[in-house]
């Protein structure tokens, strides 16, 4: 299909069936079950945050992680603690320290705190933590120190000061994956080895937009909400981050001047990661959280890179935004305030085969979309807003309604400023081929049913017990996994560690558009059934499958599975 035809098809699909879950796959009957009779507030809605002005705060750009020398790692890395360390000896070394401190979410919230800033748990003094920018073929070593205060001295009113950091969608050996039971307590550290190795050494398996976040058993929602999240960008031979790349195979997507190019200009150039967390604040300007609400937690201020409703200056040219739903529980439908189109180039951080033009993007917790927005259609001095139009009043899932005009949730304002140079970026009509699905390799089918029973969130009627291995696929094999939402009124963003999947069927239909991709989070709407294809290679050990509504996850909606030797 030619790009123009393909784009038309994408627009038509959006116009006729707004993407709610899984692209356009959700059945009408399932969608109808979402609609509830309650008003915009539920009886369980927590008190409102102090109101703050929108679009007055500049966005925060987390810097790239700063390299340290291998020799400065003391005690030195222990190769015996890592699978295949010597196959992929690290060439980039980093150190992160987790601390409790104060963060300026918004000047008006900081004013309420007595100008200290809002309480936060941070990486090297900031949230989101520094962005881990990595390239395939350049293995990474990160030592993370838990310098949080101990339980008795932590000021953060929720969460637990032990931590295990998961690189979300990393093709990572078990011991570096951030297993919920692999946590460090204050004063200790954990070493993470990221092999920067393409799964099966197949260039079609390259990952692009990842993130890292805490995964502490029972406390993931609260610890991430407190601030323990950061982003990661992987570049490779074709997605190089350099829009001026002279390599004929390079995609030349809108470029990242610092990380992908010539080290000139602003920190991110035109390839910018944006992580959304919805946060609720108390009257003293600090984040609040109701641990007794096991349905999920909703904030009423949307933060982008931990700034409440910020603005960002953009030039009239193309930008690549890596948009992350950082959770804990909110789903978003994001659109531009003038309804104009965006071009989706990746789903869950992995490049699509073809770009898809859309009017909005729908994200559940942990979903990511890379979108290209072309601001050249605007004049200098104009602004355009990114808004959330999905109504959600309780943590377990959206209502199924769109927010009325004028009631959209404010997310991010783009102010158009003067162009600094030529826009040499392109949107290629073909991005990256998907690996073929060979069903002859399939040796097992497994079903995972997500449900609620007697107050408990369950997977296959079971709950997180780290000593029970729910599945043990053999290394070097492929399996078909089916995710089924047995609930009729809630959403479950299902996430499996280690490996992303390709959708075979979503409610019986083959994937199209943005869903034809490699994904690591399947947001199951009511009664959705999703059949996916998995392969298990390169590493062994314990991994998990869980609901990425982090509140459900902390309420034991998680099972352990292991990759075992063939």
Partner 1 sequence: MKTRRAFLTTAIGASVAAVAVAAPKEIETRSAMMTCSPAQGGKNAKMFPHVIVQDQYKRKAWFYEELIQDKLVLVNFTSSKGENYYPIIKNMVKVQEIIADRLGKDVFMYTITTDPIRDTPDTLKDLADKFGAKWQFLSGNPDDIHAVLAAFKVHGNLHALTWIGNEKLGRWLNKPSHLHPLYIAESIARLSTGKHHKPSLARGMGSTLAGMRGA
Q: Give whichever of 174 and 347 is closer to partner 1, judged by the CB atom.
A: 174
Stretch near partner 1 under the rule CB under 8 A, chosen from 185-193, 235-243, 257-265, 508-516: 185-193
Name residues whose C-beta falls within 8 Å of residue 396's C-beta, 6 or more positions apart in sequence: 295, 296, 329, 489, 490, 491, 549, 552
Largest CA distance in the chain: 64
In whole angstroms, give the CA distance from residue 270 to residue 495.
29
At residue 201's C-alpha, the angle toward residues 196 and 207, to 5°, is 50
175 binds partner 1 (CB under 8 A): yes
**How many residues are recorded in the chain?**
566
Q: Pick one of 99, 104, 169, 179: the residue that binds partner 1 (CB under 8 A).
A: 179
**Using CB under 8 A, which residues numbered 190 to 209 contact partner 1?**
190-191
Q: Which of 531, 532, 528 is nearest to 28 (CA)?
A: 528
Q: Pick one of 100, 130, 182, 423: the residue that binds partner 1 (CB under 8 A).
A: 182
> How many CA atoms lie within 13 Å of 121's alpha carbon, on the beta-carbon side?
30
Q: What is the DSSP string of 135-146?
A: ETTS-EEEEEEE
x/- track of binding to partner 1 for residues 46-85 (CB under 8 A): -----------------------------x----xxxx--
**Using CB under 8 A, which residues numbered 153 to 172 contact partner 1?**
157-158, 160, 162, 164
**Using CB under 8 A, which residues numbered 304 to 343 contact partner 1?**
none
Which of helix, strand or coil describes residue 435?
coil
Distances (CA, A) of 110 to 158, 399, 410: 19, 33, 20
**Using CB under 8 A, which residues numbered 85 to 144 contact partner 1?**
none
Shortest CB 471 distance to partner 1, Å: 17
189 binds partner 1 (CB under 8 A): yes
185 binds partner 1 (CB under 8 A): yes
Q: Report the b/e string of 4-43 with b at 16+ CB within 10 A.
A: eebbebbeebbeeebbbbbbbbbbeebbebbebeeeeebe
The dihedral sign for the CA sequence 8, 11, 17, 20: positive
x/- track of binding to partner 1 for residues 426-465 (CB under 8 A): ---------------------------xxxx------x-x
Q: Residue 459 pairs with which residues in a beta bridge?
A: 450, 462
Q: Pick one of 556, 558, 559, 563: the residue that binds partner 1 (CB under 8 A).
A: 556
Shortest CB 156 distance to partner 1, Å: 10
538 binds partner 1 (CB under 8 A): no
Q: Give whichever of 125 and 187 is closer to partner 1, judged by the CB atom.
A: 187
Stretch near partner 1 under the rule CB under 8 A, chosen from 5-13, 19-27, 287-295, 470-478: 287-295
Q: Give whichever of 158 and 414 is closer to partner 1, judged by the CB atom.
A: 158
Spatial strand order in the sheet of 92-103: 118-123, 92-103, 140-146
Q: Give whichever of 245 and 554 is closer to partner 1, judged by the CB atom.
A: 554
479 binds partner 1 (CB under 8 A): no
In whole angstroms, give the CA distance from residue 370 to residue 389.
19
Q: Are 367 and 494 spatial neighbours (Cβ–Cβ below 8 Å)?
A: no
DSSP 473: P
278 binds partner 1 (CB under 8 A): no
Stretch near partner 1 under the rule CB under 8 A, chosen from 109-117, 356-364, 407-415, 551-559: 551-559
**Using CB under 8 A, which residues numbered 206 to 225 contact partner 1?**
218-219
Q: Give whichever of 1 and 151 is closer to partner 1, judged by the CB atom.
A: 151
Q: Give whichever of 179 and 209 is closer to partner 1, judged by the CB atom.
A: 179
Shortest CB 48 distance to partner 1, Å: 16
Q: Pick one of 28, 39, 152, 508: the residue that binds partner 1 (CB under 8 A).
A: 152
Q: Are 468 and 462 spatial neighbours (Cβ–Cβ below 8 Å)?
A: yes
Neighbours of 264 (CB within 10 A): 8
Q: What is the DSSP string of 115-155?
A: SS-EEEEEETTBSSEEEEEEETTS-EEEEEEE-PPPTTT--
Shortest CB 396 distance to partner 1, Å: 12
Residues in contact with partner 1 by the rule CB under 8 A: 75, 80-83, 145, 151-152, 157-158, 160, 162, 164, 173-177, 179-185, 187-191, 218-219, 290-294, 453-456, 463, 465-467, 541-542, 554-556
């Amino acid at each position: 299909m030619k790009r123009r035809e393909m784009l038309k098809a994408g627009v038509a699909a959006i116009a006729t069936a707004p993407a709610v879950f899984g692209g356009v796959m959700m059945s009408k009957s399932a969608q109808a079950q979402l609609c509830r009779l309650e008003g915009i507030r539920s009886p369980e809605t927590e008190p409102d945050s102090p109101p703050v002005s929108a679009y007055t705060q500049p966005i925060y750009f987390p810097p790239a992680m700063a390299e340290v020398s291998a020799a400065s790692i003391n005690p030195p890395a222990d190769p015996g603690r890592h699978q295949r360390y010597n196959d992929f000896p690290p060439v980039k070394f980093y150190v992160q320290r987790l601390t409790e401190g104060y963060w300026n979410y918004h000047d008006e919230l900081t004013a309420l705190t007595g100008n200290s800033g809002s309480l936060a748990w941070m990486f090297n003094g900031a949230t989101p933590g520094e962005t881990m920018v990595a390239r395939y073929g350049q293995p990474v070593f990160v030592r993370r120190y838990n310098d949080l205060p101990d339980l008795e001295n932590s000021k953060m009113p929720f969460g637990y000061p032990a931590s295990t950091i998961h690189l979300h969608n990393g093709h990572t050996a078990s011991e570096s994956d951030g297993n919920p039971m692999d946590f460090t307590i204050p004063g200790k550290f954990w070493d993470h080895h990221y092999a920067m190795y393409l799964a099966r050494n197949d260039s079609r398996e390259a990952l692009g937009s990842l993130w890292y976040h805490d995964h502490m058993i029972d406390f993931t929602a609260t610890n991430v909400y407190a601030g323990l999240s950061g982003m990661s960008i992987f570049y490779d031979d074709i997605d190089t981050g350099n829009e001026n790349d002279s390599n004929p195979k390079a995609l030349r997507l809108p470029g990242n001047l610092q990380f992908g190019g010539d080290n000139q200009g602003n920190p991110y150039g035109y390839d910018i990661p944006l992580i959304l967390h919805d946060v609720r604040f108390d009257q003293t300007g600090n984040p609040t959280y109701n641990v007794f609400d096991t349905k999920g937690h909703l904030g009423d201020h949307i933060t982008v890179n931990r700034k409440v409703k910020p603005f960002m200056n953009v030039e009239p040219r193309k930008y690549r935004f890596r948009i992350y739903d950082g959770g804990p529980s909110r789903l978003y439908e994001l659109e531009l305030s003038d309804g104009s189109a965006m071009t989706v180039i990746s789903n869950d951080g992995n490049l699509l085969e073809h770009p898809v033009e859309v009017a909005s993007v729908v994200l559940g917790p942990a979903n990511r979309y890379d979108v290209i927005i072309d601001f050249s259609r605007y004049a200098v001095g104009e602004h355009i807003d990114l808004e959330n139009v999905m109504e959600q009043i309780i943590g377990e899932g959206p209502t199924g309604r769109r927010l009325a005009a004028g009631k959209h949730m404010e997310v991010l304002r783009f102010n158009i400023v003067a162009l600094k140079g030529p826009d040499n970026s392109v949107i290629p009509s073909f991005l990256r081929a998907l690996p073929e699905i060979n069903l002859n390799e399939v040796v097992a089918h497994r079903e995972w049913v997500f449900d609620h029973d007697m107050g408990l969130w369950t997977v296959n009627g079971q709950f997180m017990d780290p000593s029970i291995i729910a599945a043990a696929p053999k290394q070097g094999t492929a399996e078909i996994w089916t995710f089924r939402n047995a609930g009729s009124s809630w959403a479950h963003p299902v996430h499996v560690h280690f490996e992303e999947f390709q959708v075979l069927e979503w409610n019986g239909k083959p994937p199209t558009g943005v869903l034809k991709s490699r994904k690591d989070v399947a947001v199951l709407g009511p009664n959705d059934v999703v059949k996916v294809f998995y392969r298990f290679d390169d590493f062994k050990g314990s991994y998990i499958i869980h609901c990425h509504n982090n509140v459900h996850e902390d309420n034991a909606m998680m099972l352990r599975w292991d990759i075992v030797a063939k």
